Every structure is written in structure tokens, then in C-alpha cells.
Chains A and B, each alone.
Chain A
């Protein structure tokens, strides 16, 4: 589903954010991406969502070489990837419904079909009763779940999450993770960047560990190596 082949990303000024990173995330697999801040987690996610391009090496999604995707096609690639952001990236002056509906509106949905899908997505994250609220009236955890609903509303085959439990307490984090597990169980590939080691330890999924831009561990027991 998602394959990195010797991917290096260096920024102007010589800073190397990723150094020859290779891994393969299978279809329907759920994995964590961890490492200290600055280790390259965000850069890796940016390469997948085409916010950045690799300096060398190749990224494949479902066998499609992303370096072949031109600028005009980038939006269409992003429609196939559900992205969840640490700071939610919600439209603060639009209702929860409008926020979740945004990807559908962009794809030309309207009317009943759209409403049905938005309600289904909000139901999955348990926020169906907040449809008409504005995001700033919701708690941090609820805003995060609105972000998740928006990411899954057009049923993408691949979900990316950047620190989805960043500023949430352990109970809420558990809830959010359960939501991801539920999507994974219906066949969605999920990649979650997180530095919440205790959460990772409890979840026991495959963990990719980055340190100074290099992939230093790929497996279940990554934490010792990271220290």
C-alpha cells in the first residue's frame, strides 16, 4: 500500500530531515511512526501527502510512483488519503457539519447523499449530536474527532494521523485509538505518528522508529533502541 525506497529529504541549508528511509506498509495494516520531535516524522508524512517532495528516493502508494504525480494532480491524490492533524485544521467559523462535509463538497457531492455520509462519519466518532455546533464550542478531544470524521468521510483507503492524541489525556487518547482500530478492522491502512510511548506500548502494533532522520527500528519492540 505505502512503500518508501531509500528516501532522503534534505532542506536548503544542508539539514537532512530523512536519510535513506525504506519501509513498506501493507494493505490493511496499522502502524505507528515514532521518534523524538525533529526526528523526521512530520517530514515523512509530508512526503506521503505531497506537501513536500523527496530529494532522492521514491515513494509509492498502491504501486503509483508519487514523483510521477504533477502539480495539478496533487489535489486528487490527497482525496485518496485521509489526513488527521495535531492542531485539527478545522474551519473555525463553519459548523461541524460543514467541516466534515468539506471533502465531499470539493468532490461535487450535494444534497441527501452528502448529508447521509457526513452523519455516518460523525456517528462513527460519536459526535452525531454536535452536528450544528461550531468547532470552538467543542473540547480538544471532540475537535480531534471532528478532524477524524472529516478524514474518513469519503472512505479513503489510507489514513495518516500526525500526533492525533497530542494534547489529550490518556482516556481520550484511548478513545481516539479505538476509532482508528475500528477503521483498520474494515480494511483501511493506517499510519499514526506519535511520540506517546506509553500509548504505543499498550497498543502493540508495528512501530517504525526514526532518529535524526534515519529509520532505526521497524517492529514491535522499538522503545529500547530509541533511548
Chain B
């Protein structure tokens, strides 16, 4: 397009091209510029590496917190499913009373399942599993009460607590216990960690934007002369800013990859420590690493941050450089 000279054939637009070849050339052009920006990063490895390192480390913290939340949630849901109310019966309860209570419980619509553990059976189990073995044989009377394990139909903590209160009133029940307190605390901690993760993630994302923006700004200032020349020979702002946007995207991408690598190393480092803890709890807990889709999101966010950061820098700085020329 020529503003001054109507009909003057300018640029590649003057050459007749089919729509398809225009489309292909558009992408070829963009890929070429993306690769050129990659080469540009390669030429200034020191500053680019530093920026990528800052991005990688900054993003690692929110990702770690996310993994923490994810794994804690896994613990809390697995426990929640097994929520059981233990009814410890009074010591003088006899067989018929027990049968009566079982029938009563089974008739309760809130109860999914009732399991009765006889006190001698409980003692045998305890002897086998606790490791006190022989020492227990010196005890003459069985000190353990009969226990009923009641599984509530509704395993949410509120419904389970209501059932607990109801069962507490039963005549032969000495003590009803629902081990839900620690579950509630765990839930509260998980949601706290999640809130912290969100806040930290937001703060660090802003930091990443600023870091990328500053890096791109320095790059623009370094190339001030070059940009001036390009403006003098008729380059538009959008043409000049494109390589910088690609640079931002690459920085974000490499930052995301670095985050993933740091995270993997971190998980590998912690795996043994976590395994020894979970072994103590005889838990079947397995550490959940970043899934493929989460890795995808991570890279997407990192690339997005790189793009937005460079866009902010480019918008401000490139239009400010005016051709002083001549």
C-alpha cells in the first residue's frame, strides 16, 4: 500500500499470490521470526539465562504449593471415605443386649453397615499387632470393651457428627467416637495452604511479569539504534515489536521447562523422606507428581506470562523511540 503514490506497486503485496500461499507465507514468516528470536536469545546467553532462572525459581514455589495441596487432598479424601464411628459398649453388656443393639442399629436409616468386634477377638488382634504379645498374657481380665464399628451412609463430617450424637444416647453405649477432628483440621490446613498458594502464585506472577518486562526493556534499549534505523526505512511498530514478543514467549517457555525440572528434582529429593514418614503410618500414600495436563497448564501460564510481560514492555518502549534521523 502506498499512501503518497496511488498505484505504485510496493512490497510483496504487489506480487500476485493465492490465498493459500499467503496463508502459508504468514506462518512461514512467523516461524522464521520465532526462530530468529530464539537465535537472539542464544546470542546473549548470560542475561537470558538469568531471566529464565528467575522465572523457573519463581514459578517453582506456587507449583510446589499446588502439589502439596493436591497430595494433602488425596490423604483427606481417602480418610473421609472410611469415616467410621466406633461405639465402645459398657463393660456389663450381655449377649442379648448386644443382639438388640445390632438390630436397632441396622434398622437405623442413617447406618450403612454395622460390624461387631467381640472383646476377646479385639484382645487377640491387639496381642498380634501391638507387639506387646507376652506381656498381655499377664493380664488376668480382658480390659477391652466390646466395640461396634458403624459406617454412616453419609460420610460427610456434618452428617457423621449428627449420627455420632444420636448413637451416643444409646443405652448400652459407654462412649461413641468419631475420629473426625483431625480430619477437619486437615481440611482446614489444606484450604489454608490452598489460599496461601493462590496468594503466593499471584504475587510471583506479578514478579515474573516485571522480570520479563524489564529484560525485554533492556533488550529494546540495547537495540535502540537498530530500531531507529528500522523506523527510518519504514518499519511499523508492530513489525519492530514482533521479535521482542517472541523473545518473551521463549523466555516464558524456558522458564516453565526449568520449573518442571526443578520440581522433578525436588520430588526425587523428597521422595525418600516422604516414604519413611508414610511407612510409619502404614499408609498406602503415594506421592502424586505433576500430571501431563498440569505440565501443560504450567507451560501455558509461563508462556502467557512471558508474552504479557514483553507486551507491556514493548508497548511502552518501542513507540517512545522516535526516529531522530538525519
Contact = CB atoms under 8 A, between A and B. Distances in A.
Interface in B1-16: 1-5, 8, 10-13, 15
A65 B14 CA distance: 25
Contacts of B118: none
A109 B235 CA distance: 13
A83 B4 contact: no
Interface stretch (A14-22, A84-92, A123-131, A199-207): A84-92
B224 interface: no
B326 A75 contact: no
A108 B29 CA distance: 9
Contacts of B46: none
Contact of A45 (B5, B235, B326): B326
B324 interface: yes
Contact of A106 (B5, B228, B234): B234
Contact of A64 (B3, B226, B231): B3
Nearest to B231: A75
Contact of A80 (B2, B231, B232): B2
Given A46-B326, A154-B10, A110 B5 contact: no
Given A62-B4, A80-B2, A80-B3, A75 B25 contact: no
A220 interface: no
A51 interface: yes
Max chain A C-beta neighbours (<10 A), residue from B230, B322, B323? B323
A182 interface: no
A80 B8 contact: yes
Interface in A49-72: 49, 51, 61-62, 64, 69, 72
Given A62-B4, A80-B2, A51 B326 contact: yes
Interface string B314-326: 0000000011111
Interface string B8-43: 101111010000000001000100000000000000
A77 B4 contact: yes
Max chain B C-beta neighbours (<10 A), residue from A75, A80, A107? A75
B158 interface: no
Interface in B226-250: 226, 228-236, 239
B29 A110 contact: yes
A22 to B, nearest CB: 20
A186 to B, nearest CB: 15
A115 B126 CA distance: 89
A49 B232 contact: yes
A102 interface: yes
A90 B10 contact: no
A65 B230 CA distance: 24
Contacts of B326: 42, 45-46, 49, 51, 83, 85-86, 162
Interface residues of B, number: 29
**Chain B contact residues, majority secondary structure:** loop
B239 to A, nearest CB: 6
Nearest to B26: A108
A46 B325 contact: yes
Contact of A107 (B12, B226, B229): B12
B325 A77 contact: no
Contacts of B323: 49, 51
A157 interface: yes
Contact of B325 (A69, A85, A109): A85
A106 B12 CA distance: 10
A90 B29 CA distance: 24
Interface string B136-154: 0000000000000000000
Max chain A C-beta neighbours (<10 A), residue from B5, B234, B322? B234
A12 interface: no
Nearest to B43: A93
B233 A76 contact: no
A103 interface: yes
A113 interface: yes
A78 interface: yes
A80 B5 contact: yes
Max chain A C-beta neighbours (<10 A), residue from B2, B230, B233? B233
Interface string B294-326: 000000000000000000000000000011111
A150 interface: yes
A61 B4 CA distance: 7
A15 B114 CA distance: 99
Interface in A151-189: 154, 157, 162
A80 B11 CA distance: 11
Contact of A83 (B5, B11, B15, B232): B232
A76 B3 contact: yes
A150 B233 contact: yes
Contact of A157 (B5, B29, B230): B5
22 contacts: A51-B232, A51-B324, A51-B326, A61-B4, A72-B236, A75-B231, A77-B4, A78-B231, A78-B234, A79-B2, A79-B233, A80-B3, A80-B5, A83-B232, A83-B325, A86-B326, A102-B233, A106-B235, A108-B11, A108-B29, A113-B12, A113-B15
Given A51-B323, A85-B326, 5 more contacts: A77-B3, A80-B4, A90-B229, A102-B230, A108-B11
